[in-house]
Structure 1
Amino acid sequence: MPIRWNVPQHAAALEQLDVALSDLARPGAVILGPDGVGKSTLARLAAEHFAQRHPATVIRWVTGTPTERTVPFGAFSHLVEIAELGKPAALLRAARASLGRKVRQGELLLIVDDAHDLDILSATLVYQLALAGAARMIVTARAEVAPEAIAALWTDNLLDRIDVAPPDGKTKQSEPADVDEFIAELPAPARAVLDYLTVEEPLSLADLTVLAGEGAVQQAVELGAAETRVRGEPDEPAVVYTAHPLFAKRARVALGDDGARQRRTELVTLLSQHPNEHLSDRLRLASLALDTDALQPVDDVVESAEQALRLGDLTLAERLAQAALDRSGGLQARLVLGQALAWRGRGREAGQVLTAVDPGQLSEAELMAWAVPQAANQFWMLGEPERATAFLQTTRNRVTDLTARTTLDALTATFAMNSGNVPRAITLATEVLAEPSADDTAIAWAASAAALASARMGRFADVPQLAQRASEAEHPGLLRFTVGLAQITTLLMAGEVAQAQELAQRFTDFAELQQPGRAIGEVLLAHVLIVKGEFGAAAAMLEPAAAELERTGYSWGPLSLMLLATAIAQQGNIAETAKALRRAETRHGTKSALFAPELSLARAWAKATVRDQAGALFDTREAARAAERGKQSAVALCVWHDAVRLGDTRALAPVTRLAAEIDCKVGNIVVRHARALADNDAGALASVADELAAIGMHAAAADAAAQAERAGGR
């Protein structure tokens, strides 16, 4: 009763694939189609053809499965070495480096089969490999369920897209009834192999032999239920997969919950006896053990939850930490769970988890471990900045350790910056960064706050060093975006618009793995697009980003809405501008007071849209003065430039004063723009328009050109 698949030949697709692999200007191709259509066969044949033409080729296989998708780097665990600590972006760089360590440049052919079943980190790694041209690649996937990073392989035109379909338009092999009948008729040993693979795929040949019995895997292979593969070096142990994705799905249905739990328990019992040197293997075991009768020690589960949090897998971190907390009620499990929930924007739930702690029963070290996420959640997610700041001060009065006090001061600096008190933020951050005992957390908070505060104050020379210190401190949260905004602000004021866009793009090129990180990266990029005058593209990016960020408490949420209102206003859409502006005003508060000038500026552009120039100029001047009162000189200069664009002839004096204080390329252009407008000098305005266009500030350039035309016509 062996099942035989009549795999279509797809000669034309194979020829396309051969051509794609031969094109040195492109990394390879992605094959898209339904299960059972022959994608894997095409990939194997194309790889064989390529290896015949290039004998030095080293072929490596990566196969996504539904169970591997729950583990960071799960499908790549046999190929990459990753550190246990570090930020996701750094881990991805390390993974890329380890993948090519044993292969000479140009010799690696990476086949990624069923890429729609990759975890986020693995999918991101595939995207980055294609983007960098680090390997020849063949990727197979089902387009309709592929992760965003995999779909971007063809939407970003990185790999040639090859679509394949069954000759009759449907895959007969994918009929569930046929598969159910086949599974029901399998002999017990082969059926056992399929049952174990339905709870974890792949499994090593050795482990499956222990679990299902001698000869069981061979029987399953002969009957067409399973297949063995060697994924890396020829001498590496073989692993076993189901022969078709539908087998695992239907076998799981037939197995039922109780049967699956039993198989999972047996598997965890066996795997627990192996030394797990690879982090992905330990996380896989921890995840697998959650729904079994072979529970891991609570401390091990908490440690795995911490590792998942550091890797940026917030979903897995939440599952593991919740399981550990349910079993033990321990503080560390509670802290990991609270952070995972908070970073996912679920502040109310995080608050419930964290406030259950009695601080009076904590040691000083425990108090610190609890106080930092508690305060951060209060400030951003719960929207209680004053309460959070007071709580930090109370906590500081309780601790005596200098390192602990320094960490609390660093978080206080971040709160001060977000609240718009940038001088205090700079003072506190400077003290923290000068303290030898400051740990990585303190340095990350302080350096990122100081970097953005410095950029908005116009102290651009300080930003690179502060950004470097922040990036060197290992912190898995979202502080990298704060640093990113500081760097982008500095580049824009230096007239390096293209470089600013390139930097912003890095935050959206799937180096940022999950929401809300992806949305924040899009806010950074949209900010640059608005400067470039690409208002439609900016608004299209900001609308979904703002919707995502509104569900969190981050100050990026109000900022995204301010920028959205500005982008829509400059397209002339009155109704949508008003709607976005109302949302921005509703979400704005103390925790986003740093961006108060941007809110007033959004109001100004909204009034300009309805031709209320007096109102627009009033709001622009208010925005500039608010920025100056807050010592945000660079922001004030930018806002005064918008006033000039809107026709404010009184802006020359403040612009001249601020440009002298800051001394940057854009500041000097703004002075010339303000002077030309005040003098009604058509030639000078046209010259300024050319200068602005040359550096990529096309929105301001268009306004200057229009002013030149009006001045010339008078």
Structure 2
Amino acid sequence: MRFAWPLIGRAQEIQAIEAAITAATPGVLICGSQGVGKTCTARAALEAAAERGCVTRWTAGTTSARNIPLGAFTSWAPTGVTDTLTLLRGVIDALVPAESSARVVLCVDDAHLLDDLSAFVVHQIVVRGAATVILTVRDGEPTPAAVGDIWAKTRFERIDIAPLSLDDTAQLLTEVLSGPVDPIAAQRLWKITGGNGLYLQNIVEREVADGRLVRQDRCWRWVGELVVPPGVVGLVESRIGALPPPVGEVIDVLAVGEPLQLGVLRRICDPEAIEEAETRGLISLEPSGAGVEVRLAHPLYGEVRRRRAPRSRLRRLRGVVATELGACSAPDDVRMVVRRAALSLESDLDPDADLLIRAAYGAVWLGELTLADRLAEAAAGSGAGPEPRFIRAHALSWSGRGAEAEAVFADIDTAALSDEERARFAFLRSSNALWALGAPEHAKALMDAQPEFTTSVGRAYRNAFLTVYWFATDQPQAAVQASETLTLQDIPVVGVEIAWALAQIAADVGRTADAVADAAVGHAVATRTLDAPQMRFNIADAEVSALLLAGRTADALGVAADTRRQAADLPGTARLLGDAVAGRAALGSGDLSSACSLLSRAADGLSDSHPDGWGYRYRIPQATALAISGRTDEAAVVLGDLTKIRRRFRMLDHEHSLARAWLAAGQGAISEAIATVRDAGERCRVKGQFAAEVLCLQTATQFGDRSGVTRLQELSAVTEGPRAGVAARFARAMAEGDAAALSTVSQDFESIGDLVAALDACCHAALAYRRQDLRGSALRCVARAAALADRCAAATPALRQASEPLPLTDREAEIVMLIAEGLSNREVAERLTLSVRTVESHIYRAMSKTGTSCRDELAALLARPARTQ
């Protein structure tokens, strides 16, 4: 299957070439490895030069023509000429005609393959200044002296084409496949191709044709294992070439065990063979800590060698590498323990149960859950007792494979467990039922069925589960009560989960300092527990919630940035969770473009393996970000998908209500939006979630509600952080119609980092100034609101009203916005719980006030401008 492959990620290089042409630089040398994009970059630069009026020429050196004199310029050679000097003069005159006043740009692709006479022609053109010359040269290829002299003796601008970055690769895949690509798939493709465009093109087209790269749920996903296309195999093998056996041994050892310290590799392979491999450009040596790390020069070298080598050879080499790593590495180096055990699984070494158990723990800690499952299964098969089954079930549960985890739990003989082991077993099994299986009643029944625990640690596990259970079922007071006797450091295996629950509870209540402290404890416990990588993101999410609810937006963005940096070092789901936390922080700050991008990418990927867990959790803020951005059709699809998911834990009530309210408001149903968030605020009040209540009432005020003054004033005294105080002043200014106070509140919201609230307060200030007939002040507020809207990419109802002032009541404006969304009079009546006759009366009065003659003209006055990605 063939796709169109645009040029991505080379804008800076093309601009540099264009600048060199404009400055009449003698030439540009474009260097890079095979397939990295030298030719495409040169062609794009040449096309740009032609569009500016330059005369352009293109030729290429080839292996077949390098032994033919003037082989690259036969198309410009005069016929019937045998004298060499006359022939050369004729070629140069044809390439750069004297009668042309336009600048000539000559591009020679693969210049290292030029014959001597062709090189002489290019050199003469450069020396005479007759044209700007662009040369592309492949790294690592021998270059004849005649060709090297072209740029060595003149002032050429050198540009090195680097492999595509991960972001550029993801963007390229999205454009080629006409749709978003699962971040994990994009990362896998980037890693295996090393950012090489030629390899990427071949592999993607083969994987799509074979049905392994497929579109699922609006997103392209890569399922199954890579099959390297024959064309890529041929390219790689031609690059590697025929190798002496000792050099082949170096490549194969790295193929199974890279990266390796140079000292380790020297103890396994012949040092002279290592030097030869480096000379051939097949391996790379890079400083790493106190030593030098050796890798294959390209990931596909290892892929191809592993597929060609006999299995017995690979098993032997894995055993050799694992043994050498064991002899030279520190016993507590988690990453090295995992590498040794992973190599041993497919080697000729005998199983080491202790190594496998330690490695399984380490793999969970590193976020390598699939590998943890394999290591734990191997340890269980070697008769290592119940511990590997605990690890395996845990890894399966976190991978979203709850039913498989339950099968492992069901196979454990609890009669042989100690009291502490039984308590831990009960916690892990009940937690799997709660989170992975989504069955809270069954989860509690599993714990309740356990006989009384006889040790303090056993009882702590029971209370720990009850803390999590009450938190998950939206009963925060009961969760806090269950946690009162717990010391998290005493139960590190589950302490991180408790810290997350307590941090989120404190966040919703408005005890920001407690939430941050709980998060800090959780992170400290996470450094020595099984749950660390995944729970770190839950804790970060809770801390970001606390800071955003408090109005400490800059601090929330800092936590999110740190979390995303940590995620970059972890595989798979971790990166998606890092994006998700960063997306929530971006949403809270009003950076809606980033929020939509990050949350959409994260939610798409997380919904694949955790549809009712992390996928559900991050679809909600994704819908909110889309709705505030004016992309209400997309937001409606996301929220519609959520209604199809049967989630029975942690309903995220106030966040879900905010998303639905922003959608309703964006569709014009302002009174419905206000009612939705006010009802959510009341539920928060009942549960003691006062900071969440503040945000609900603030949002209602942004929609135009004027009834929250008293309650927000009360809440400002019981919640930490600046948000409640600013929201209370906002509500009072709205209730009193105080335009100047609204303008000040807008600045206050901007100072705490909530740009969307700042925008809405500014819009309400403009409307209040208009009602006072202070047009100059109103215009200044409108101008500031427009600037804020540009910064945050928002399209809120308040902005629409302020930007398009109409002599309508709030109810009339609401009805006009709904008919602008395409609703019939009957549908408007049902949406607002009015009679059809009342709706018709409002429409009639609105038409009279605005001078419109029909329903369509009236709707056009408040039509929502379309926003796209």
Structure 1: gaps spanning 5 or more residues:
1-12, 17-30, 40-138, 156-162
Determine helix, strand or coil for the equivalent of 1:143.
coil
Residue of 557, 570, 583 corresponding to 2:641: 583
The alpha-carbon deviation at position 642 of structure 1 amounts to 0.7
* Partner Cα distance (1:566, 1:547) in 2: 15
Give the counterpart letter for 2:352 in structure 1: P
Give the counterpart letter for 1:577 in structure 2: A
Partner of 1:455: 507
Determine helix, strand or coil for the equivalent of 2:650.
helix
Give the counterpart letter for 1:143 in structure 2: L
Partner of 2:562: 506
Determine helix, strand or coil for the equivalent of 2:704.
coil
* Partner Cα distance (1:205, 1:687) in 2: 63
Give the counterpart letter for 1:449 in structure 2: A
Partner of 1:385: 440
Partner of 2:51: none
- Cα displacement string for residues 525-544 of structure 1 (whole angstroms, at most 9, x for unaligned residues): 33332333332321221112
- Cα displacement string for residues 645-692 of structure 1 (whole angstroms, at most 9, x for unaligned residues): 111122223222322333642211111111121122222222222221
The alpha-carbon deviation at position 382 of structure 1 amounts to 0.9
Determine helix, strand or coil for the equivalent of 1:398.
coil
Quote the RMSD (CA, aligned, Å). Answer: 4.2
- The question of 1:182 aligning with 2:242 is answered yes
Partner of 1:321: 376
The alpha-carbon deviation at position 699 of structure 1 amounts to 0.8
Name which one, 1 or 2, has greater alpha-carbon Rg. Answer: 2
The alpha-carbon deviation at position 337 of structure 1 amounts to 1.8
- Higher RCO (CA < 8 A, seq sep 6+): 1
Partner of 1:74: none
- The question of 1:398 aligning with 2:461 is answered no
Q: TM-score, normalised by structure 1?
A: 0.69
Give the counterpart letter for 1:508 in structure 2: R
Determine helix, strand or coil for the equivalent of 1:508.
helix
**CA 708–316 in structure 1, closer or farther in 2 if over 3 Å, else same:** same
Residue of 440, 444, 450 corresponding to 2:492: 440
* Partner Cα distance (2:547, 2:271) in 1: 65
**CA 449–249 in structure 1, closer or farther in 2 if over 3 Å, else same:** closer
* Partner Cα distance (1:479, 1:172) in 2: 40
- The question of 1:689 aligning with 2:746 is answered yes
**CA 331–650 in structure 1, closer or farther in 2 if over 3 Å, else same:** same
* Partner Cα distance (1:532, 1:508) in 2: 17
Query: Is the contact made by 1:347 and 1:553 (CA closer than 8 Å) also made in structure 2?
Result: no
Give the counterpart letter for 2:623 in structure 1: A
* Partner Cα distance (1:268, 1:401) in 2: 41
Q: TM-score, normalised by structure 2?
A: 0.57
The alpha-carbon deviation at position 457 of structure 1 amounts to 0.9
Residue of 648, 671, 686 corresponding to 1:629: 686
Determine helix, strand or coil for the equivalent of 2:587.
helix
The correspondence of residues 316-395 of structure 1 with structure 2, limited to 5 A, is: 316-328=371-383, 330-395=385-450
**CA 424–515 in structure 1, closer or farther in 2 if over 3 Å, else same:** farther
Structure 2: gaps spanning 5 or more residues:
1-12, 17-29, 39-159, 173-182, 188-194, 199-230, 772-869
* Partner Cα distance (2:546, 2:275) in 1: 65
Give the counterpart letter for 1:432 in structure 2: L
Residue of 600, 603, 606 corresponding to 2:663: 606
**CA 614–323 in structure 1, closer or farther in 2 if over 3 Å, else same:** same
Greater Cα shift, 635-644 or 473-482: 473-482
Determine helix, strand or coil for the equivalent of 1:607.
helix
Residue of 537, 543, 552 corresponding to 1:487: 543
Give the counterpart letter for 1:531 in structure 2: G
Partner of 1:529: 586
- Cα displacement string for residues 251-279 of structure 1 (whole angstroms, at most 9, x for unaligned residues): 43442223323444455567666676454
Partner of 2:808: none
- The question of 1:143 aligning with 2:143 is answered no
Residue of 651, 656, 661 corresponding to 2:713: 656
- Cα displacement string for residues 44-101 of structure 1 (whole angstroms, at most 9, x for unaligned residues): xxxxxxxxxxxxxxxxxxxxxxxxxxxxxxxxxxxxxxxxxxxxxxxxxxxxxxxxxx
* Partner Cα distance (1:219, 1:523) in 2: 45
Query: Is the contact made by 2:351 and 2:382 (CA closer than 8 Å) also made in structure 1?
Result: no
**CA 146–294 in structure 1, closer or farther in 2 if over 3 Å, else same:** farther
* Partner Cα distance (2:271, 2:348) in 1: 27
**CA 614–362 in structure 1, closer or farther in 2 if over 3 Å, else same:** same
The alpha-carbon deviation at position 406 of structure 1 amounts to 1.0
**CA 451–229 in structure 1, closer or farther in 2 if over 3 Å, else same:** closer
**CA 32–343 in structure 1, closer or farther in 2 if over 3 Å, else same:** farther
The alpha-carbon deviation at position 596 of structure 1 amounts to 0.8
* Partner Cα distance (1:574, 1:265) in 2: 57
Determine helix, strand or coil for the equivalent of 2:449.
helix
Query: Is the contact made by 2:364 and 2:533 (CA closer than 8 Å) also made in structure 1?
Result: no
* Partner Cα distance (1:711, 1:206) in 2: 75
**CA 707–174 in structure 1, closer or farther in 2 if over 3 Å, else same:** same
Partner of 2:524: 472
The alpha-carbon deviation at position 383 of structure 1 amounts to 0.6
Query: Is the contact made by 2:533 and 2:574 (CA closer than 8 Å) also made in structure 1?
Result: no
- Cα displacement string for residues 627-651 of structure 1 (whole angstroms, at most 9, x for unaligned residues): 1122111101110111111111222
- Paired residues, number: 564
* Partner Cα distance (1:684, 1:146) in 2: 44
Residue of 463, 469, 482 corresponding to 1:415: 469
* Partner Cα distance (1:324, 1:536) in 2: 47
Give the counterpart letter for 2:427 in structure 1: V
The alpha-carbon deviation at position 180 of structure 1 amounts to 7.4
